[in-house]
Amino acid sequence: MPTFVYMTRCDGCGHCVDICPSDIMHIDPTYRRALNIEPNMCWECYSCVKACPQNAIDCRGYADFAPLGHSVRVRREEEKGTISWKIKFRDGREKDFVSPITTKPWGQAIEKLAEQPPPGANDLNSQLLWSEPDTLLIEGGGGLPVISKDKFKQGVYY
Amino acid sequence: MGFKTVYEDCDILVVGGGMGGCGAAFEARHWGRDMRIIVAEKANIDRSGAVAQGLYAINCYMGMRWGENQPEDHVRYARNDLMGMVREDLAYDMARHVDSAVHKFEEWGLPLMRNPETGRYQREGKWQIMIHGESYKPIVAEAARKSADKIYNRIMVTHLLKDENHPNRVGGAIGFNVRTGDLHVFKAKAVIVGAGGASHIFKPRSVGEGMGRTWYAPWSSASAYALPIMLGAKMTQMENRIVLCRFKDGYGPVGAYFLHLKTYTQNAYGEEYESKWYDHTKAMVGEYIDHHPTPTCLRNHAFLQEVAAGRGPIHMVTTEAFQDPHKETVGWENFLGMTVGQAVVWASQDIDPKYINPELTTSEPYVMGSHATCSGAWASGPEDLSPSEYYWGYNRMMTVEGLFGAGDALGGTAHAFSSGSFTEGRLAAKAAVKYIRDHAKDPAKVSDQQIEDLRKAIYKPMEHYQIYRNEIVAGTVSPHYLLPIHGLQRLEKIMDEYVGGITVNYMTNEPLLKFGLDKLKILQEDFESIGAEDLHQLQRAWELKHRITASECVTQHTLFRKETRWPGYYYRGDYLKLDDENWHVLTLSRRDPESGEWKMEKAPVYHIVD
């Protein structure tokens, strides 16, 4: 369902242009509002729909297989940490769904590694990544799994 | 063209900020405290790559904390699904690290579902855990942002730079800003390619407005392959394209439906059909059909045979499971979390799976390395796990020195998925830091001449368009230039008809492949006459170049492997059987950057796990 933009709602802020992974949301030079310049390269990912502060962007299913009369609307609320969907069928039936999108305040639980304890002198030569083996949480407190090379099954040659 | 040149000197350059690239940027900071770490991304890392839309499951998680699976189990699973062949060292290495990434995702705020009875993560199947992953990518992007010195969004990287002191070493990358048009030159001591695999190299089933509704994202433009190929890196298993069995038109995922909701397939007449094709399949592939779980390609094969026998369409039986309101919710949220388009298709066609069993289809082929297939660059494994043929000093380093990969870029590492791609990025980053420390006294040389030559090539489509545009009144038809969409559609037609796409039921043979190669060569010539009206079209032009280059590689590999290893993904009509005696090997290719000639070879498959 390529996206389209309602003329009376869009204020030309450009959030959709910034976020579109396919680079197809652009600002129309005449109307100074957003438009989808290449509907056949739209993945219907809804990134622009979710990013629009004016709820000005919607999708209409791909013309080659989606009959008219449907809608799938979304409201992503970052502060609440939820996303809400309303699906409307062509025959008028509706379905609603709400899901969490995060369990933590945005970004605050993510480590800044420059402020974490630095690696030891020889750690660069080990096979461990940052925070391992602790964060692997291996049963019984075991270390990083390894296979002894003398146990390799013989290579299949040609 | 009057565009500025922006120079960036860095230690580590990450090309592509998807799951692999974000993992690389994040981890690099821990090991390279004093290093300058840069990410160049074609779109915006908050919503880029295959996970832009979100995911409803993490498909690779061992669960070693609960003794659920061990890394060797993952190797057996991936090997079996790919008919006996993966890089077992790389697969084991990813699997032994992947749990630490998933545990971090949960700490960072990604909602992982828990099984209320066991308290463990909610399993969808043996390998998958279920998540509310609408914001998976923004969360992971934030981790990358906290580590990197700078993220450059909207940079289309067109080429890797070579080190002129060492003919087989990378010196950085070059591209242009899709908004400003400025040329961006990144000189780097190590480059990690985290770019995307290949959609839109084979003609998609939907060719009108719906051509964007490919299974893999339309922005996955094969840069993961073309960038290393153009610099002379060796590639592996590029013939191992994947065809997906999915809900019709929207390509909505079936994993949760099969595994968690316990829905199942039947033909148009309500009959089970897979077992009918057992003897037929056994005659082609031997004992592989007896493996459990049945390799995905062989299930596709039964699907294709049943449809060819006139008993399509194949349906997913959802009407039983969807009577349970919880399962119905899971079924819908599964799409809303990662393939909204399928929900739109069903809403528009009044398909409520509670009452109607929806149709399935098999997709056009895709070439990629992070989902259930393993095309990509031939890379070194880790020192402690890799046989000598698989090890050359630095984990995840390609055959070009200083050039690393993660996600779709790496060959041989099937079933890594999102968490595994992030993990591969972390592994590549640590090795890249070590590489830089070891080579501190030997900096790369990138001359002004190299940059000047590339600048001319990069902007040529815009110049070409400007020269010839006013020769015609208006419109898209010119005797002197093709637009990027014209080139893309020709590419898709060539690959479809000659290299085993949907219109030929995935069938090809040596004469077809040779015709295909001739036509691809001419398309490469015609690329010199591509016209780009603006910067957006210039991006499309270079995406096309990457797709054509990767397609040549795919075709060379398909020609080289004289067997049908993965029936259901593609068929060599001239060698319709699996041939373990001659072809239980990995295929390798290298394109000579000077001559453009391809050289193929075989590499051994080591089974490091029983």
The residue range of the domain holding A83 is: 3-100
Alpha-carbon span B139 to B133, nearest angstrom: 10
* A76: Cβ contacts below 8 Å, ≥ 6 apart: A50, A82, A83, A101, B134
Asked if residue B28 lies in contact with residue B12, where contact means CB atoms within 8 angstroms, the answer is yes
Mutate: best of B146, B344, B582, B588, partner A, most A CBs <10 A: B344
CA distance A9 to chain B (A): 22
Largest interatomic CA distance in chain A: 71
- CB B212 to CB A2 under 8 A? yes
Residue with tokens 């914001």: B135
Say whether both A8 and A85 belong to one domain: yes
With respect to residue A139, please indicate whether it lies within any of the assigned structural domains: yes
Compute the C-alpha angle A33/A3/B369, nearest 5°: 125
pLDDT at A153: 67
Asked if residue B415 lies in contact with residue B59, where contact means CB atoms within 8 angstroms, the answer is yes
The arithmetic mean of pLDDT across residues B480-487, rounded, is 98
Provide the pairing of β-strand A25-27 with A34-36.
antiparallel
Q: What single-letter DSSP state applies at residue B414? A: T
The arithmetic mean of pLDDT across residues B563-589, rounded, is 97
CA distance A75 to chain B (A): 12
With respect to residue A157, please indicate whether it lies within any of the assigned structural domains: no
Say whether both A43 and A119 belong to one domain: no
Tokens at residue B576, please?
């319709």
- CB B347 to CB A70 under 8 A? yes
pLDDT at B319: 96
Q: Which of B134, B212, B340 sits opposite A99 (nearest CB)?
A: B134
Quick check: is A85 catalytic?
Answer: no
Say whether both A89 and A126 belong to one domain: no
B565 contact A CB<8A: no
- CB B65 to CB A137 under 8 A? yes
Torsion angle of C-alpha atoms B265, B130, B410, B423, degrees rounded to 10:
-160
**Contact map slice: B 285-344 vs A, CB within 8 A:** 329, 332-333, 336-337, 340-341, 343-344
* Sign (positive or negative) of CA dihedral B126, B132, B137, B140: negative
- CB B348 to CB A43 under 8 A? no
Compute the C-alpha angle A45/A102/A6, nearest 5°: 35
B356 contact A CB<8A: no
Contacts of A148 in chain B (CB under 8 A): none
The arithmetic mean of pLDDT across residues B589-596, rounded, is 97
| Residue A151 pLDDT level (bands cut at 50, 70, 90) | confident
- CB B333 to CB A62 under 8 A? no
Mean pLDDT of chain B: 97
Say whether both A83 and A126 belong to one domain: no
Say whether both A138 and A68 belong to one domain: no
With respect to residue A39, please indicate whether it lies within any of the assigned structural domains: yes
Asked if residue A54 lies in contact with residue A34, where contact means CB atoms within 8 angstroms, the answer is no
Say whether both A9 and A80 belong to one domain: yes
- CB B385 to CB A149 under 8 A? yes
With respect to residue A43, please indicate whether it lies within any of the assigned structural domains: yes
* Sign (positive or negative) of CA dihedral B426, B427, B432, B435: positive
Position A158 pLDDT exceeds 60: no
Say whether both A91 and A17 belong to one domain: yes
Say whether both A36 and A65 belong to one domain: yes
Torsion angle of C-alpha atoms A9, A11, A17, A22, degrees rounded to 10:
20
Say whether both A38 and A94 belong to one domain: yes
The arithmetic mean of pLDDT across residues B60-80, rounded, is 97
Contacts of A102 in chain B (CB under 8 A): 109-111, 135, 139
* B405: Cβ contacts below 8 Å, ≥ 6 apart: B20, B192, B193, B194, B224, B228, B376, B377, B379, B396, B398, B424, B428
Alpha-carbon span A111 to B600, nearest angstrom: 45
Contacts of A35 in chain B (CB under 8 A): none
- Specify the range with the lowest mean pLDDT, choosing from B188-197, B205-214, B359-368, B543-552: B205-214
Asked if residue B190 lies in contact with residue B32, where contact means CB atoms within 8 angstroms, the answer is no
Q: Where are the alpha helices (DSSP H) in B385-509?
A: 417-438, 448-468, 484-498
Position B455 pLDDT exceeds 90: yes
Domain range summary for chain B, segments of one domain joined by +: 5-241+367-438
- CB A103 to CB B146 under 8 A? no
Provide the pairing of β-strand B507-508 with A25-27.
unpaired
Tokens at residue B433, please?
């830091």
* B341: Cβ contacts below 8 Å, ≥ 6 apart: A1, A43, A44, A61, A62, B213, B250, B251, B252, B335
pLDDT in tens, B34-53: 999 999 999 999 999 999 99
**B587 three-class SS:** strand
pLDDT in tens, B186-213: 999 999 999 999 999 999 999 889 999 9
Alpha-carbon span B297 to B282, nearest angstrom: 13
Alpha-carbon span A36 to A27, nearest angstrom: 9
CATH of the domain at A13: 3.30.70.20
Q: Which of B30, B72, B539 sits opposite A119 (nearest CB)?
A: B30
With respect to residue A153, please indicate whether it lies within any of the assigned structural domains: no
Closest by CA to B421, choosing from B44, B174, B36, B105, is: B105
According to CATH, the topology of domain B5-241+367-438 is FAD/NAD(P)-binding domain (3.50.50)
Say whether both A34 and A95 belong to one domain: yes
Position A155 pLDDT exceeds 70: no
Say whether both A72 and A37 belong to one domain: yes
CA distance B28 to chain A (A): 9
Say whether both A96 and A27 belong to one domain: yes
A55 contact B CB<8A: no
Tell me if the pTM is above 0.90: yes
pLDDT in tens, B325-335: 999 999 999 99
Task: Kindly state the percentage of chain B with pLDDT values over 70.
Answer: 100
Task: Kindly state the percentage of chain A with pLDDT values over 90.
Answer: 87
Starting at the earlier edge strand, list the strands of the sheet with B585-591.
Answer: B376-377, B235-236, B585-591, B598-604
Tokens at residue A152, please?
């390799």
pLDDT at A152: 74
CA distance A16 to chain B (A): 11
pLDDT at B610: 87
Q: What single-letter DSSP state applies at residue B254? A: -
Closest by CA to B410, choosing from B91, B61, B57, B54, is: B91
- CB A90 to CB B347 under 8 A? yes
Alpha-carbon span B185 to B165, nearest angstrom: 18
As for how many domains chain A has, the answer is 2
* Sign (positive or negative) of CA dihedral B446, B451, B453, B458: positive
A138 contact B CB<8A: yes
* Complex confidence, ipTM: 0.97
- CB A125 to CB B434 under 8 A? yes
pLDDT in tens, B6-36: 999 999 999 999 999 999 999 999 999 999 9
Counted across chains A and B, CB pairs separated by less than 8 A come out at 294
**A135 three-class SS:** helix
With respect to residue A108, please indicate whether it lies within any of the assigned structural domains: no
